[in-house]
Amino acid sequence: MKNKSSNPQGKKTLTGKPSLSSSSASTRASTLLSKYSKVLPLTRIYMSLCCLLTFLSLLLGEEMSQGLFAYTKESFPFQPWRYVTAASFLGPPSIQSLMSVYYLYEYGSTLEKTFGTSDFLAFLLSQVFLLSTLAGIFMTPFFANSVVTAMLHVLSRQLPHQNVKWLIFTVPYWTLPYGLLLSDVLQTQSPASATPHVMGILTGHVFYFFNTVWPKFGGKNWLEAPDFVKRKFDEDGIDRKEKRVKRKRGRGKVLGGS
């Protein structure tokens, strides 16, 4: 009588579907870990913080989480951590928060790659400052979703007419922030859901104006990272800055020239 050898891949569940072996599960986990390790450093830190706060909200409960993480008038100078938590808390686990993490992974990485880690840090700091100001006006305790929308807006202004895939649609790049706004309003059936996205579009445009538009007219980029930060985080950060200065000088003409 032949003994049937056990084959993990041949095992099936009660529904008749192949069971998930431990080896395939570990392979998927290692693949996910590999992708995570390849995310650019500042985007990876920000993503990790967002996921950590979402996990803590499960342990603490919604009421306590909002009490600890929300931006309030007392945030400066007595509770400075609220600037970070308000800019990083995407809410309890949901489809919306999951999509926000995906957008952060996709567009945060692109933004950091485009501008460099140092200028991406300047972007995040400027957004925290601007959004905390608007949060007091719009009475919004959290603005992490606004940061994600600001990322989308800045990127969409770089190549506004390029077609990109969003969900199942192909749309011009410049429409992405507004598509995100519209989808949240439709999902929640509440116009108030547009507020974080409006805030993100406004603050993102401030960064885009001073980083891209104003220097073209000879103005100074006030939101650019200092040179010592560029030397610390970006090997080619100074070279990229010098190239921009040369291009700006090259567009000028000598007074009295033809």
Q: Could you report the per-residue pLDDT of 86-137, keeping only the tens digit for each? A: 999 998 888 888 889 999 998 899 999 999 999 999 999 999 999 999 998 9
Return the number of other C-beta atoms located less than 10 Å from residue 213's C-beta.
13
Percentage of the chain modeled with pLDDT above 70: 79
Burial class (CB in 10 A: 0-12, 13-18, 19+), 89: buried
Average pLDDT, the chain: 82
103, 110 in Cβ contact below 8 A?
A: no
Residue 213 falls within a domain, yes or no?
yes
Q: How far is Cα 196 from Cα 118, in angstroms, rounded to an integer?
A: 25
Residue 18 falls within a domain, yes or no?
no
Question: According to the model, what pLDDT value does residue 60 have?
Answer: 87
Q: Pick 100 or 35 by higher pLDDT.
A: 100
Question: According to the model, what pLDDT value does residue 157 have?
Answer: 93
Residue 256 falls within a domain, yes or no?
no
Domains held by the chain: number: 1
Q: What angle (nearest 5°) sits at the alpha carbon of residue 51, between those of residues 96 and 84?
A: 100
Residue 157 falls within a domain, yes or no?
yes
Residue 177 falls within a domain, yes or no?
yes
Residue 166 falls within a domain, yes or no?
yes
Which domain covers residue 113, as residue numbers?
93-245
149, 177 in Cβ contact below 8 A?
A: yes
**Could you tell me if residue 220 is left (phi over 0), alpha (psi between -120 and 50 degrees) or otherwise beta?**
beta
Percentage of the chain modeled with pLDDT above 90: 41
Does the pLDDT at position 232 exceed 80? Answer: yes
Return the closest-CA partner of residue 237 out of 110, 109, 119, 111. 119
Model-level pTM?
0.80
Q: How far is Cα 199 from Cα 184, in angstroms, rounded to an integer?
A: 14
Give mean pLDDT, residues 56-85: 83
Residue 59 falls within a domain, yes or no?
no
Q: How far is Cα 148 from Cα 104, in angstroms, rounded to an integer?
A: 6
Does the pLDDT at position 147 exceed 70? Answer: yes
Q: Pick 68 or 181 by higher pLDDT.
A: 181
